[in-house]
Amino acid sequence: MKTTILFDLDGTITDPKIGITKSVQYALEHFGIHIKDPDELCHFIGPPLRESFMEFYGLSPGQAELATAKYRERFVVTGIYENEIYDGMADLLKNLNSSGKTLLLATSKPAVFAERVLSHFNIDKYFSFIGGSELNGERSDKLEVITYALENAAVKDTEKCVMIGDRKYDIIGARAAGVSNIGVLYGYGDQNELEEAGADYLARDVAELGRLLNG
């Protein structure tokens, strides 16, 4: 039984597909890169934003910084609310919190945005600490975020912790931190990605995730 549960945000608690992909599409337009179908940009969901602009579109560090600024022009006004909470997630968080579990958020998204998302869905009250990156990109690596969240929650026994996420970054970060993990298959990482990263368990939906956490 795990007493401390760390959650990723995008693709794990909420589905941010429309807001993120359209905001990336908007940013790329500034560089003359025209993406007609925002669905082609789903690989931006999960990893740190600056690194994704460089990896997927060959932008320089300076260009990636500008692209991130352009992304936020749209995201902070519109994109952040083009988001949906996964069915059953609010009840799961409520039940875990009521049963005495310590819930922590560990996301590569800037903490200021993560706080707004959780507040928007009225689920921020279930979390003891919301850990995310800084707006300048600091602490965007998942290991750094996990360590930061655990330190701020004064959690020392990592054997009683579990990290939940939908991408390989969540699994790799958890393993590096000495924390067990659950990969969720309803987000944006597939089974091969999560298994190759070393997922301890896989959950096909929120109901199965609940059974794993309560079993």
> What Rg value do the Cα atoms of the chain yield, rounded?
16
How far is the C-alpha of 175 from the C-alpha of 162, rounded, in Å? Answer: 10
Q: Classify residue 140 as exposed, middle or buried by CB count within 10 Å of its CB (0-12, 13-18, 19+).
A: buried
Q: CB under 8 Å to 39, separation ≥6 — which residues? A: 21
Query: Left, alpha or beta for 139 (phi > 0: left; psi -120 to 50: alpha)?
Result: left
Q: Would you call 8 a catalytic residue per the annotation?
A: yes
Out of 8, 10, 15, 141, the active site residue is: 8
How far is the C-alpha of 205 from the C-alpha of 6, rounded, in Å? Answer: 17
Helix 61-75 × helix 49-57 angle, to 10°:
120
Give me the numbers of helices (H) and strands (E) for the chain, helices first please. 9, 8
Both tokens of 113, joined, read 């945005």
Please give the positions annotated as active site: 8
